[in-house]
Structure 1
């Protein structure tokens, strides 16, 4: 077998696995590189007692567990600090690996990438689990390995896996309530999603705050990690949009973010448009319940595949 070809077949899904484990594209890239190096070193001794895919997942899972045990869990903005009412001061970007980062999909989706399994609420909930519980839940319920296979991958017993799964499910169920974004978007239908996207893009690019506000739920939130400031409730969000957001022009390109409706957001600077944010929309009953605007330059720098704007 040719190592490069085998790895190419699984690289994207392994990256998604590391991302679910770590809640960060930057950390996921680090774990993937550690995985590929270990796999390359051990490829000659691979005996084929499992599939290559299972073997790679074993390496990637343990690499992610080791990294997770050295890092504090990634958070959503609402878990880091209280919301704000004043738009005068948004605070300095929080230093260090603190916030959950976005998963921005490339045009070709992988067959093993279940989009609902990278939704922001689910990935954020996973970060509250001990690393071994996190791995057991992802391997069993997202990747659909059997309990015996998970036990083998984690070098433990099936009984231990089932116990970890029970505790992990309880924690995740307490933090992820209501329908998934996949179900919300399915309820909207293709036409409804298209209408919502078109209305959002049109209002944002025209700086039409009343139109944007009309798309929001009453308890809508606007967050912008790594800034500590976030706004809770439609009135607070409207105040932020009015006071701070539209000092310069924007262009938006729809792109899936964490399996949700999302946008690459380009802000005009010195006559040109530069990628300045990636927005993920959380939808509930046809309205926007949250806008998560990721603005970390280090994260945006990983998204080289996004189209440029002129």
Structure 2
């Protein structure tokens, strides 16, 4: 309602203040039902710095080695992998392991390098993939982790070149 009273809003929408208050209460309830119990920033504050560093290092090592089992071992049981704006996502260890093993980390996929960064207060990575031309690791995605404790609850890949905008990340990484 952007600072307007229920009466003012009702006048603009040609309804009653009671209906505006009711709609606002329903909206608050809907938001409360959809919000996570704990924000990602609260989760990160609750994790010891050494434990968080270990999560980041384990993830980087597992991904760069294309070690599907090691990546999956870091996931919450109900973890989700998404790649907006793609309509496909993967949920749970089995589906994620199949996706990683057949596509993202398959023996035929390019090698990867990750640079840890922060995105909106969340653990993330500048994600680079090997390119034969120019024989370097080139920008591939911004990969964002959502944690539940020290487990990865969500892994989101933003694969657009524009995703790198605003981050002080190199165009490419030498081998």
Q: Normalising by the residue count of structure 1, what TM-score does the alignment of the two structures yield? A: 0.47
Aligned length: 157
Between structures 1 and 2, the one with greater helix share: 1
| Aligned residue in 1 for 2:170 | 307
SS in 2 for 1:255: strand
| Aligned residue in 2 for 1:252 | 114
CA contact (8 A) 2:126 2:164 kept: no
Could you list the per-position Cα deviations for residues 77-119 of structure 1 after superposition, in whole angstroms to 9, with x for gaps in the alignment?
Answer: xxxxxxxxxxxxxxxxxxxxxxxxxxxxxxxxxxxxxxxxxxx
Aligned-partner Cα distance in 1 for 2:145–2:111: 20
Question: Which of 220, 223, 235 matches 2:79?
Answer: 220
Aligned CA distance change for structure 1 residues 166 and 160 (closer, same or farther; 3 Å): farther
Aligned-partner Cα distance in 2 for 1:221–1:256: 20
Aligned CA distance change for structure 1 residues 281 and 301 (closer, same or farther; 3 Å): closer
RMSD: 2.2
- Alignment pair present for 1:281 and 2:140: no
What stretches of structure 1 of length at least 5 have no aligned partner? Answer: 1-131, 137-150
| Aligned residue in 1 for 2:70 | 211
Aligned-partner Cα distance in 2 for 1:166–1:236: 39
Deviation (angstroms), 1:179: 1.1
Between structures 1 and 2, the one with greater strand share: 2
Aligned-partner Cα distance in 1 for 2:86–2:48: 34
Q: Normalising by the residue count of structure 2, what TM-score does the alignment of the two structures yield? A: 0.80
Aligned-partner Cα distance in 2 for 1:190–1:281: 16
| Aligned residue in 1 for 2:13 | none
Could you list the per-position Cα deviations for residues 28-70 of structure 1 after superposition, in whole angstroms to 9, with x for gaps in the alignment?
Answer: xxxxxxxxxxxxxxxxxxxxxxxxxxxxxxxxxxxxxxxxxxx
Could you list the per-position Cα deviations for residues 197-222 of structure 1 after superposition, in whole angstroms to 9, with x for gaps in the alignment?
Answer: 00000110111111111101111111
| Aligned residue in 2 for 1:202 | 61
